[in-house]
Amino acid sequence: METNLVYDNKSKKITLSDSSNPQYKLEIDQLNQLTTEIIAQGSDVPPLPSAENFNKDLSKMIKKLYEGGVQAFKMNKFEESCKQFSIGIEMINRRSKFESFQLTIQELSLFLMSRTDAYLKNKQYLKAFNDVDLLLNMQMNSPDNFLRRGVANFFLGNYEAARSDYQRGLSFDENNQRLQHELNICLDKILEENGDRL
Amino acid sequence: MASEYNYDESGETWPFFILAILSLFLIPLTIKYISRILSNENPTLYNESIKGSINLKIDLANKDAIEKFQNKQKSSKIFNKTLILLIIGWSILIYIGKYVTKEADLTGLFDPYTILDISFTASEKEIKSKYRKLSLKYHPDKLPRDLTEEARQQMEQEYIRVTSAYKALTDEAIRENFLKYGHPDGEQSTVHGIALPKFLVDGKYNYLVVLLYFVVIGLLLPYLVGKWWSNVKSHTRNGLHVNSASNFVRAVIDRDPAKIITPKTILDWILESEEINQQFKHLSKEERLNLVDLHFNRKFDKEREDDKIELISKLPFLINGLIDIAVAFKLQDVVLPAEDVKKCVISATPINGKYHEILQLPFVDPKVVESQDVKKLGKLFAITEEQAKAALGIKNEKEFKIAMQVASKIPSLRILEAEFKVPGEEDGIVPPNSTAHISLKFLVKSPRLKSCPDIDDEKLKDEENLEYMKNPLYINEKQPSLPYSYAPYFPHPFKLNWSCYLINQKENKIVEDSTKILLENIDLSNLEISQEEWIDEKNENLVISTFKIPFTQPTGQIGKYHYRLIMKNNAYFGSDLDIPIDLKVTAIPLKNLDNLKKKLEDIGKEKESDDEEDSDSDISDPEEDSLAGALAALKGQAVKKKSKKVEEIDEDEEEEEPFSDINTDTEDEGDN
């Protein structure tokens, strides 16, 4: 597999000369973004990511958005809540890539969890599934996340998938009442769908 | 006398040499060839002998094309290069055996017992009397006068033989010679024949031998070795082309972690494999996809039917190759969709959607099926026949019957017991670092049957005989093998089986070192019993099946481990199994160890009584994870908790979640 890469000396960016290899586009975009940020940031070597150089202004705004989202959620304005969380996630995405990733991911996972709940409440199950699936793929293996994905799967009609989500959640916390309860509902549903009984 | 090497002048031994060499090749080859033909059994006949198998024939529009394909496969099994080789080989063998070999000349051998015609146990007296009789017959003075010169000579020779035989048995010195060298006259010259006839070595044919040597060593040997090596290099052990294998590995490693692997992704990988590229050069990627799509939708295209069938028949093998690679990387999120694609290929159902169970039946109308609510086979038998007919979209009464018959014979597994077991341990106890296996007890259930009988625990126990103790997996082989599966749309017949994967719940990956485990033996006779028999717990005909899965690692330390067992059927939807299994490793309730401890305590007490002052004060409670701690815990004594760190971390996370009370009242909101 061969591709021609073109390096632009002014913008320091790399471009694909032909569009025949779309699989490289993502990687090249990522590389270009890192280049842009390292230039914008001023010094030759970016400072070590730490809690100190974490962008506090952004943190404040993000926190505000988060509180707004929670507020809306509590007032049962789920659509509004989803919107707030989405803006928050967008903002987290804008953070410089050289900031502490550990802190960023913490913020992001909090937002994703909250947005999943808002989506679930708003009956946007597919979107909820995507969010919580991303969380689980990032190894946020808390029983609550399994509960969230299980519920999303349940309402999407994937009862078997919901069942295995609940069961995997239970392997992290065996006595989780909530998971057990949902699992029972799900098992009943599977039996019912199969026209079977105990 | 020294030994010497001679050419095989009279052509006695070389035919035997060739016979030996030929049979060395021919016999194994013949056995292999015959067993391959015999393995080509008729699936219909085979299934007839198995209870619970599906043996229905339906006529499809592409019947002729499929038959053509099958006949081609069959004839390529019988008429191939091996057959030519066998015919030539055996005819040479028979020719040599019958015409060229001569009976070996044994006259050179000297055996006094045969010459005198007496038994080995004969006494000296017997030998003497026999010798006397014979010498009377052959003695030159006693011969009749009217004999010819030639006969007389012969008789004299015979007399000498008889005399030396007699001497060999009686005279000390001659006897010694006989015992030592096998001949009364002492050492004889030994002749080592070289198994080449003389006319080939001396004389005008000798260039033939040189030519033969040149061909064998100079050409044939390098060619064979080279061919073997290039085959080794170009195919993996499982017969997958190395280019395909490396493509699969690359696809599996380089995949975008943010993207889910769908059946479509799997299909794309498979259709770009080297085998397909080589055989279907004339088709572009889109055309291949179109052909597969045609198959998935059970549509036929007269012009491309042969290509389609060839292509389809290749897919399961390639998918299995991909699965093997994904298992090595422990990626269950590749394995599971790949298994589903395989089933779609075999049952000719679309790769997407939730109606696979219904769509796999013959004669169904996909449009009708996908517009209604019945998704599971079991539901078909819970509704009235009219409703079922409407759900399947089949108008013809006969076709409907066949479809329902197939549906009722698709086995599902109802688990009765699934646990880790260590042979020889009581009450299912799994001690640390032991060799355990997973024991499954289940009922084969037809979708037609509802509910589940109560099975007595006693019936679930394995008989603990010696063989079980040695290898508990032997139970798997003792059950009858599975029939051929019902797959009228798939070009060649194959047997039913389940592939089992064990997944670690914490990591969500296939367990280290485990491979795909095949379940190939189950008794399916439960598929034929009636509902009444099914729920009758005293019914003797109800078969409880067992499957033992090897657990590749030794069980770890004391604690609880969570696994998930997935069993994927290779042909039917609705037969899969996916259950969580917990492994609880506990300390062994060793009675012996207990006794030992008592003894130790007694000794300790004696000491204590000796010097009462330093009693308990500086002997603290044993720590939790020491052996003493484990023993103490068993007895319910105080154990120090080593650390609480793990729990604290968990608590931190909880606090951040504002909606731990997410409302998910699944019951209220019902079927969305």
- How far apart CA B177 and CA B170 sit, in angstroms, is 12
In this structure, what token pair is assigned to residue B545? 């099946």
CA distance A103 to chain B (A): 14
- How far apart CA B289 and CA B333 sit, in angstroms, is 23
Q: Of B660, B663, B642, give the one whose Cα is nearest residue B651.
A: B660
| Farthest-apart Cα atoms in chain A, separation | 72
Q: Are strands B517-519 and B544-550 parallel, antiparallel or unpaired?
A: unpaired
Contact call for A113 and B653, based on CB within 8 A:
no
Contact call for A171 and B667, based on CB within 8 A:
no
Closest CB to B562: pick one of A164, A171, A197: A171
Mean pLDDT of chain B: 80
Q: Of B142, B147, B199, give the one whose Cα is nearest residue B10.
A: B199
In this structure, what token pair is assigned to residue A163? 């069942």
Average pLDDT value for residue range B267-293 = 91
The C-alpha torsion from B193 through B196 and B201 to B206, rounded to 10°, is -170
Average pLDDT value for residue range B557-561 = 89
Asked if B142 has any chain A CB less than 8 Å from its own CB, the reply is no
Q: Of A124, A170, A123, give the one whose Cα is nearest residue A147.
A: A170
Average pLDDT value for residue range B412-440 = 87
pLDDT of residue B193: 59
Residue B593 has pLDDT above 70, yes or no: no
Residue A117 has pLDDT above 80, yes or no: yes
Contact call for A168 and B505, based on CB within 8 A:
yes
- The amino acid occupying position B488 is P
Q: What percent of chain B has pLDDT over 90?
A: 24
| Whether this model's pTM surpasses 0.80 | no
DSSP B254-285: S--TTS---HHHHHHHHHTSHHHHHHTTTS-H
Asked if A22 has any chain B CB less than 8 Å from its own CB, the reply is no
Count the Cβ atoms, other than its own, within 10 Å of residue B251. Answer: 20
Between A143 and B10, the more confident residue is: A143
- How far apart CA B499 and CA B326 sit, in angstroms, is 14
CA distance B372 to chain A (A): 13
- The amino acid occupying position B262 is T
B282-295 per-position pLDDT tens digit: 888 899 999 999 99
How many contacts (CB atoms, under 8 Å) link A and B?
A: 87
Q: What percent of chain B has pLDDT over 70?
A: 81
Q: Of B609, B603, B607, B557, give the one whose Cα is nearest residue B583.
A: B557
B191-250 per-position pLDDT tens digit: 665 656 666 666 677 788 788 888 989 999 999 999 888 888 888 888 899 999 999 999
Residue A87 has pLDDT above 70, yes or no: yes
Between A63 and B183, the more confident residue is: A63
Q: B579: exposed, middle or buried (C-beta count within 10 Å: 0-12, 13-18, 19+)?
A: middle
Average pLDDT value for residue range A44-56 = 80
Q: Of B529, B568, B356, B538, give the one whose Cα is nearest residue B450.
A: B529
Residue B637 has pLDDT above 50, yes or no: no
Average pLDDT value for residue range B300-310 = 86
Residue for token pair 């729920």: B535
The half-sphere exposure of B228 on its side-chain side, counting CA atoms within 13 A, is: 6
Contact call for A155 and B564, based on CB within 8 A:
no
Closest CB to A196: pick one of B450, B659, B663: B450
| Among A84-88, B162-166, B495-499, B569-573, the least confident range | B162-166
Contact call for B377 and A194, based on CB within 8 A:
yes
In this structure, what token pair is assigned to residue B169? 């048995």
Task: Kindly list the distances between the CA atom of residue A98 and the CA atoms of A14, A38, A43, A94, in Å, as whole numbers in the listed order.
Answer: 20, 8, 12, 11
Q: Look up residue B99 and give its DSSP letter.
A: I
Q: B261: exposed, middle or buried (C-beta count within 10 Å: 0-12, 13-18, 19+)?
A: buried
Contact call for A196 and B378, based on CB within 8 A:
yes
- How far apart CA A167 and CA A147 sit, in angstroms, is 10
Contact call for B672 and A117, based on CB within 8 A:
no
Cβ-contact B380, A195 below 8 angstroms:
yes
Closest CB to B662: pick one of A120, A137, A158: A120
- How far apart CA A65 and CA A57 sit, in angstroms, is 13
Element (H, E) at B317: helix B305-328
Q: Quick check: helix, strand or coil at residue B7? A: strand
Q: Of A58, A55, A12, give the one whose Cα is nearest residue A32.
A: A12
Residue B504 pairs with which residues in a beta bridge?
B509, B563
Asked if A130 has any chain B CB less than 8 Å from its own CB, the reply is no
Cβ-contact B354, A157 below 8 angstroms:
yes
Between A20 and A122, the more confident residue is: A122
Between B339 and B424, the more confident residue is: B339
Contact call for A141 and B506, based on CB within 8 A:
yes
pLDDT of residue A155: 94
- How far apart CA B512 and CA B565 sit, in angstroms, is 14
* Three-state SS annotation for A18-32: CCCCHHHHHHHHHHH
Highest mean pLDDT among A122-131, B39-48, B659-668: A122-131
Residue A80 has pLDDT above 50, yes or no: yes
| Among A19-28, B283-292, B372-381, B595-604, the least confident range | B595-604
- How far apart CA B361 and CA B354 sit, in angstroms, is 14
- How far apart CA B633 and CA B53 sit, in angstroms, is 53
pLDDT of residue B153: 83
Q: B152: exposed, middle or buried (C-beta count within 10 Å: 0-12, 13-18, 19+)?
A: middle
What residue of A is the nearest CA neighbor of B669?
Answer: A155
Element (H, E) at A34: helix A25-40
Asked if A187 has any chain B CB less than 8 Å from its own CB, the reply is no
CA distance B452 to chain A (A): 6
Structural domains of chain A, with CATH: 5-41 (no CATH), 56-193 (1.25.40.10)
Residue B625 has pLDDT above 80, yes or no: no
B311-366 per-position pLDDT tens digit: 999 999 999 999 999 999 999 889 999 999 999 999 999 998 889 999 999 989 99
- How far apart CA B573 and CA B356 sit, in angstroms, is 6
Contact call for B378 and A195, based on CB within 8 A:
yes
Average pLDDT value for residue range A11-23 = 75
Task: Kindly list the distances between the CA atom of residue B195 and the CA atoms of B6, B13, B99, B615, in Å, as whole numbers in the listed order.
Answer: 9, 6, 17, 93
CA distance A20 to chain B (A): 16
What residue of A is the nearest CA neighbor of B566?
Answer: A164
Average pLDDT value for residue range B428-450 = 89
Interhelix angle B263-271/B242-253, nearest 10 degrees:
150
Asked if A103 has any chain B CB less than 8 Å from its own CB, the reply is no
Residue B615 has pLDDT above 70, yes or no: no
Average pLDDT value for residue range B90-95 = 89
Residue for token pair 């044994």: B106
Task: Kindly list the distances between the CA atom of residue B378 and the CA atoms of A13, B56, B262, B410, in Å, as whole numbers in the listed order.
Answer: 59, 21, 27, 10
CA distance A9 to chain B (A): 30
Asked if B129 has any chain A CB less than 8 Å from its own CB, the reply is no
Residues of A in contact with B381 (CB under 8 A): 195
Task: Kindly list the distances between the CA atom of residue B155 and the CA atoms of A76, B116, B149, B165, in Å, as whole numbers in the listed order.
Answer: 129, 14, 10, 15
Q: Quick check: helix, strand or coil at residue A98? A: coil
CA distance B670 to chain A (A): 9
Closest CB to A155: pick one of B380, B447, B672: B672
In this structure, what token pair is assigned to residue A133? 């699936």
Residue A19 has pLDDT above 70, yes or no: no
pLDDT of residue B657: 42
CA B302 to chain centre: 38
- How far apart CA B238 and CA B227 sit, in angstroms, is 18
The C-alpha torsion from A150 through A156 and A159 to A165, rounded to 10°, is -20
Closest CB to A171: pick one of B383, B506, B662: B506
What residue of A is the nearest CA neighbor of B564?
Answer: A168
Asked if A137 has any chain B CB less than 8 Å from its own CB, the reply is yes
DSSP B592-606: HHHHHHHHHHHHHHH
| Among B8-12, B81-85, B524-528, B623-627, the least confident range | B623-627
Between B655 and A107, the more confident residue is: A107
Residue B648 has pLDDT above 50, yes or no: no
Cβ-contact B451, A197 below 8 angstroms:
yes
pLDDT of residue B659: 47
DSSP B113-168: HHHHT--TT--HHHHHHHHHHHHHHH-GGGS-TT--HHHHHHHHHHHHHHHHHHHH
Closest CB to B580: pick one of A73, A160, A167: A167
Provide φ and ψ at B230, rounded to 5°: -65, -30
Residues 146-175 of A with CB under 8 A from B: 147-148, 151, 154-155, 157-158, 160, 163-164, 167-168, 170-172, 174
Closest CB to A185: pick one of B380, B659, B667: B667
Q: Of B553, B568, B330, give the one whose Cα is nearest residue B437.
A: B553
| Among A107-116, B110-119, B537-546, the least confident range | B110-119
Residues of A in contact with B665 (CB under 8 A): none
CA distance B382 to chain A (A): 5
| Among A175-184, B452-461, B506-515, B639-648, the least confident range | B639-648
Cβ-contact A107, A126 below 8 angstroms:
no
Contact call for B666 and A137, based on CB within 8 A:
no
Q: Of B294, B292, B295, give the one whose Cα is nearest residue B276.
A: B292
Residue B348, Ramachandran bin (φ over 0: left; ψ between -120 and 50: alpha; else beta):
left
